[in-house]
């Protein structure tokens, strides 16, 4: 089975894009421009599918709509073309059997390509996801919120706390029983040079561009992993005078000016 990273590399090359489009439906805002959330998301996908490296539906926005929201998420997964990887932004974190059922939901029931996880409860909490061949995991490492400075980016004895998380990537890579690919979530708003210098060269899911005001220039460098930069509100709700396609192309081009769209 093709590894998740290989699939993502191929998609980045085909689309000439590292843009990951976050699907975060906000019914109150959508009602101002569209007859339904369903119509809104269909239009977003139809207009942007050729310009994105991946889609990232955030499950919280769908769960907030109740059972209809979960049905809508399942429809969205069907509308996304097969060649476009789907990263489910779920940030699941639990222990024991519960986490194994989260893994089953993500990789068997919904069959998404990758998922975000909160690994701060320990390595054993990500293990239920590691046995799925062809799938990807993105571990919350340096998040884009201000609170990351007091927690993940805190130094103790010369080591950032987030380095304990990225050590899980090396542990997983060295384990022959692991079949999934493991990357990190690294928020653009907190990617100062000292942090970037210590981030290992694994696939990164990079939020923080667009509405959060992250600096793309921080990404210039020699990293070779298939990194993708997420934009959600900047395409979904900002600049309503522009089409979703226009905004997706604009962000794709901005990202490509800093990052090579075809990884080595």
As annotated, the active-site residues are 91
- 72-86 residue pLDDT tens: 999 999 999 999 999
Q: How far apart are CA 13 and CA 6, in angstroms?
A: 11
Phi (first) and psi of residue 210, to 5 degrees: 90, -120
Residue 261: pLDDT over 70 = no
Instruction: Match domain 4-258 to its CATH number in 3.40.50.720, 1.10.3720.10, 3.40.50.1980, 3.20.20.70.
Output: 3.20.20.70
pLDDT-derived band at 160, boundaries 50, 70, 90: confident
Q: How far apart are CA 49 and CA 19, in angstroms?
A: 11
- pLDDT-wise least confident of 60-64, 128-132, 149-153: 149-153
Closest listed residue to residue 55, CA positions, set 170, 205, 191: 205
Quick check: 40 and 72 in contact, CB under 8 A? no
Q: So what's the pLDDT on residue 214?
A: 65
Q: How far apart are CA 187 and CA 176, in angstroms?
A: 30
Quick check: 103 and 128 in contact, CB under 8 A? yes
- 225-242 residue pLDDT tens: 899 999 999 999 999 999
Residue with tokens 């085909």: 14
């Amino acid at each position: 089975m093709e590894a998740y990273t290989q699939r993502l590399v191929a998609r980045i090359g085909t689309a000439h894009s590292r843009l990951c489009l976050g699907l975060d439906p906000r019914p109150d805002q959508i009602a101002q421009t569209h007859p339904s959330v369903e119509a809104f998301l269909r239009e977003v996908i139809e207009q942007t599918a050729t310009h994105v490296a991946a889609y990232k539906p955030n499950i919280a926005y769908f769960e907030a709509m109740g059972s209809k929201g979960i049905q809508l998420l399942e429809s969205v997964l069907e509308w996304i073309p097969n060649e476009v990887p789907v990263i489910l932004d779920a940030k699941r974190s639990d222990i024991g059997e519960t986490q194994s059922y989260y893994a089953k939901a993500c990789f068997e029931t919904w069959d998404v390509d990758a998922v975000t996880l909160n690994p701060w409860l320990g390595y054993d909490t990500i293990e239920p996801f590691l046995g799925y061949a062809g799938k990807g995991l993105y571990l919350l490492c340096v998040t884009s919120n201000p609170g990351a400075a007091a927690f993940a980016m805190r130094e103790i004895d010369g080591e950032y706390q987030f380095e304990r998380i990225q050590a899980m990537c090396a542990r997983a890579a060295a384990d022959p029983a692991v079949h999934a690919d493991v990357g990190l979530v690294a928020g653009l708003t907190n990617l100062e040079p000292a942090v970037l210098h210590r981030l290992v060269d694994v696939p990164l899911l990079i939020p923080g561009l667009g509405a959060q005001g992250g600096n793309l220039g921080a990404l210039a460098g020699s990293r070779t992993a298939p990194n993708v930069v997420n934009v959600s509100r900047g395409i979904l709700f900002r600049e309503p005078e522009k089409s979703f396609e226009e905004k997706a192309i604009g962000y794709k081009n901005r990202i490509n000016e800093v990052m090579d769209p075809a990884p080595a």
